[in-house]
Every structure is written in structure tokens, then in C-alpha cells.
């Protein structure tokens, strides 16, 4: 069993104001994902959870990079950006990894998207509406986006728990 190494994860203080609380919990869950991937080789990070499923830890990080880009840059800030991985022909391409997909490359893209997400969010108040619209044709406020992203990461960190245990037996965190 490979032990997980711990990235810097700070829980928000229990008496934080709303915005620092939301940002703190989102950052906590972002770094939890990194912990789930730590200590593994690229080959282990590409290992499918339960064949025939192609769900991998690297694919999950790629997916969350795309989710960060979508919610904070495309929806919140209204930027028109090319897709990172997914296409109309293959909407799940973010989860697809090849033998050449590496942690270094994947983490760099994910970290760049989380940094860009923080920068986009900094220009908005919690009640400010997004410049872009969702599929309903309506905007979202930043509070909703933060709450959704915390839910997105928490749910996927549960998936990452199971994949990590399948890959090397490590549990926890």
C-alpha cells in the first residue's frame, strides 16, 4: 500500500465570514483532490477504476480543470474560450487519457484553471450575476457557483477515494 502524502490543506476557520468560508472550503476540496493523487506514478494515475469503465484519477483532474474553466471563466466572467478537452463529438473527452498523459501536464493545466478561476471570482461580489448564461438562459450569482463547485469537488473526491483504494489500497483523508 502506498501512503498518501498530504498537500497543504487548511480548513476554513469556523467563524469566517461567508465569502472566505466558501472560498476556503472550495480550496480545501481542491487540495483534497491533489492528496488523492499524491504518491502515485503516472501509470497508476491512468489506471481505470473498474474495467470496463475508463474512469481514472488523471481523467478526473482533467474533468475538474474543464469544470473550473466553464463555471468561473465562461459562465461567471462571460469569456469565450476554446474547450480544453471535450468536444461536441466527444463530450466526455476530458475523462479520456492516453499512455502519454502525465500528472505534471494535467496538474499544470488544472492549477492554471484554478488560478484563473480565483482571478475571475475576485472581480465579483457574492450576489453579482454572471455575465454568461446557463443552459436555462439565466445567469448565476457567484454564491451559487461557489456552492456548486464545493458540491462538485466533494462528490468527485468521493469517487477519487474509491479509485485510489482500487489502485493501491490507500484510504482516508
Grid coordinates given for 112: 492554471
Nearest to 76 by CA among 115, 23, 122, 45: 122
Distance CA 158, CA 138 (A): 30
| Model pLDDT, residue 140 | 98
- Tens-digit pLDDT profile for residues 150-173: 999 999 999 999 999 999 998 876
Which residues, in sequence order, are CB contacts of 90 under 8 Å at separation 6+? 96
pTM of the model: 0.92
| Partners of 107 in beta bridges | none
The mean predicted confidence, pLDDT, of the chain is 92
Residues in the chain predicted with pLDDT less than 50, given as ranges, are 1-4
Amino acid at each position: 500500500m502506498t501512503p498518501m502524502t498530504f498537500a497543504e490543506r487548511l480548513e476554513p476557520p469556523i467563524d469566517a465570514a461567508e465569502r472566505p468560508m466558501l472560498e476556503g472550503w472550495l480550496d480545501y476540496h481542491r487540495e483534497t483532490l491533489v492528496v488523492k493523487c499524491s504518491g502515485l506514478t503516472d501509470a497508476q494515475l491512468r489506471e481505470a477504476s473498474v474495467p470496463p469503465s475508463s474512469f481514472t484519477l488523471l481523467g478526473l483532474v482533467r474533468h475538474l480543470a474543464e469544470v473550473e474553466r466553464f463555471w468561473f471563466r465562461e459562465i461567471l466572467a462571460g469569456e469565450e474560450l476554446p474547450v480544453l478537452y471535450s468536444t461536441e463529438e466527444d463530450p466526455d473527452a476530458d475523462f479520456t487519457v492516453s499512455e502519454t498523459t502525465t500528472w505534471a501536464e494535467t496538474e499544470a493545466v488544472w492549477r492554471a484553471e484554478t488560478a484563473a478561476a480565483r482571478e475571475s471570482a475576485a472581480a465579483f461580489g457574492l450576489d453579482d450575476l454572471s455575465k454568461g448564461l446557463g443552459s436555462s438562459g439565466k445567469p448565476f450569482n457567484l454564491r451559487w457557483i461557489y456552492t456548486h463547485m464545493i458540491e462538485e469537488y466533494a462528490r468527485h473526491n468521493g469517487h477519487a477515494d474509491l479509485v485510489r483504494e482500487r489502485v493501491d489500497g490507500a484510504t482516508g483523508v
